[in-house]
Amino acid sequence: MLALADPDARRWEPTRLRYRLFTIPAQLVRGGRRLRLRYAAHHPWAALLAAALTALAVLDST
């Protein structure tokens, strides 16, 4: 919840979080011996998820 940049998104209940963020369509792609999830950019909540994952990656690297 702390990784979400939108203050309204931080107050979402688990059900709303699941319906909005966990239902973003994605493809599993390979490249450079790595597996990655490529999220659909046209989805309304994709930018919020990308920002949250970036924030978590920054926290993990410290």
Q: What is the DSSP string of 18-39?
A: HHHHTT--EEEEEETTEEEEEE
**Tens-digit pLDDT profile for residues 30-52:** 999 999 999 999 999 999 999 99
3 state SS of 62: coil
9 bridge partner residues: none
pTM: 0.78
Q: How confident is the model at residue 6 (pLDDT cuts 50, 70, 90)?
A: confident
Q: What is the pLDDT of residue 47?
A: 92
